[in-house]
Structure 1
């Protein structure tokens, strides 16, 4: 009888050549105090990279929304260390907040970012962020 090792996690299909077809900006967001008792976002770390951006399924969105941590998009990039939930991804006019990240298959070749779409990219001037009480 052959003894097999139990598989403890899913095996993901790595992106094919040409699938990383969107140019995105990845930036570290740090909120600094502003003069009017609000916060002003600063972006001390920014870099551009190629990415694959796909929307999650309705089931994934519903299951994650129930916990208050809705995942709306998966963004796949080449592996990089240090990307945390403090990062944002800008693709076109849309901004996404990184919620979680996974090393696909533990191979350190690709990184899957689970993100929430925040909306359109706007220039913030600190304070109360236009008509909203809280900044993103």
Structure 2
């Protein structure tokens, strides 16, 4: 398999990686909060956008591919933050299986 090229100069987005943490809500349940674990450089590629009707209103969903250096501590369910933008990690994959970089399939959370 040929190795995919990745220009390190294309990793121009500085992102905070956030981990989920559950906190008791005082009523026997828990609420999920997110805490910043570290920062990483990535390339953000918008993939698709769609608008769906939810409860009588419109909801926009934008998906992205985030390219970053390979690491083993990024998993689905974590979040990436760029200023006020939040990206939910849905899938993590090594596109050419060389452990050089990762592609994160993310969905931008609309606030």
TM-score w.r.t. structure 2 length? 0.75
Tell me which residue corresponds to 1:28. 19
Tell me the distance in 2 between the aligned counterparts of 1:71 and 1:94: 11
Tell me which residue corresponds to 1:41. 33
Cα distance per residue 1:40-84 (max 9 Å; x no partner) = 4142x61101100110046xx69xxxxxxx770111111110311
Tell me which residue corresponds to 2:64. 73
Cα distance per residue 1:90-121 (max 9 Å; x no partner) = 0121001100011120111101000011135x
Work out which of the residue numbers 41, 47, 57 in structure 2 matches 1:56: 47
Higher strand share: 2
Structure 1 segments (4+ residues) deviating >4 Å: none
Aligned length: 101
Higher helix share: 1
Cα distance per residue 1:8-35 (max 9 Å; x no partner) = xxx6733213100010011111232223
Structure 2: tracts of 5 or more residues without a match: 52-60
Whether contact under 8 Å (2:80, 2:89) holds in the other structure is: yes
TM-score w.r.t. structure 1 length? 0.62
Larger Rg: 1
Note the aligned Cα RMSD (angstroms). Answer: 2.7
